Amino acid sequence: MSERHVLDAFAPILHWRLLKGSHAFPGPDGGTCINEAAMVAAGLPYRAITATEDCPPCFSRPLAAYALGLNDAMPEAERQGLMAFVLRLSGSADAPAIEAVRTGFLALESVRRILPPLLDAAGLPALAARCETASDSRGAVEALRTAEVQGGALSHAAAGRHAWIAGARASAVARTATAAIRAFADPRSAAEVAEGAAPFAEGTWRIALTILDEALGIGRQAPAIDLVSARDRLEAARAQP
């Protein structure tokens, strides 16, 4: 298929509308989460996805959890960027050791790339540098524990001064640090890191999508899905009453 034909086939796929939450069936404009759309594109039996466990076994659990977390956290305009991954989720499941590597990657890269701009905005540049240069989960968690404490202290001090914007940033530091610690065991919490940082750090959602893209490159890759077939399946689902 030529590049022109690839673009022509993929364009209608990108017009599928992603929404928060689970959905019993697609609407005329799409109206599903990213994992539900990926099932339709792959030709799998449709089901509403209320949690990662609802995804077909061929979906990588960490990758599906992170994608689902982003889907539910992103503003509508940003959420559509997830459709670039609609053909890459089905068939991505791998051995437990690989899934563990993916989970660690999502957590550590969230610490390294998403938290530092928020920490800088909150006036914590030294802590931002510690997160950015964390080499493993142990070093990252140590920095995150410090971020929880310092963010909480700054939030309390800002409240005493009625400095509400500074307080909101500091509170976001503490909240996202807690989510980042959880992310080493729960990949969906890595999406909460992006959700907490996004209001205070420009470009957060773009970074989150880059992290998802790179995590999808770890281990087993989803088998190629014919673009025209995927497009036709999505169009047929939208046409159903």
pLDDT (tens digit per residue) in 63-96: 999 999 999 999 988 999 999 999 999 999 999 9
pLDDT interval class at 159 (50, 70, 90): confident
Nearest CA to 117 among 210, 205, 212, 179? Answer: 205
Whole-angstrom distance, CA of residue 78 vs CA of residue 67: 13
Average pLDDT of the residues in 211-224: 95
pLDDT at 124: 95
Average pLDDT of the residues in 227-237: 88
Please state, rounded to an integer, the average pLDDT across all residues of the chain.
Answer: 91
pLDDT interval class at 37 (50, 70, 90): very high
Identify residue 8 by its one-letter amino acid code: D
Contact 196, 174 (CB under 8 A): no
pLDDT at 157: 87
In the numeric block, which tokens belong to residue 151?
């963010």
pLDDT interval class at 120 (50, 70, 90): very high
Identify residue 177 by its one-letter amino acid code: A
Q: CB-hemisphere CA count at 13 Å for 225?
A: 27
pLDDT interval class at 2 (50, 70, 90): very low
Whole-angstrom distance, CA of residue 237 vs CA of residue 241: 9
pLDDT at 8: 61
Query: Between these two residues, 166 and 142, which has the higher pLDDT value?
Result: 142
pLDDT interval class at 23 (50, 70, 90): confident
Average pLDDT of the residues in 99-120: 98
pTM: 0.92
Whole-angstrom distance, CA of residue 83 vs CA of residue 88: 10
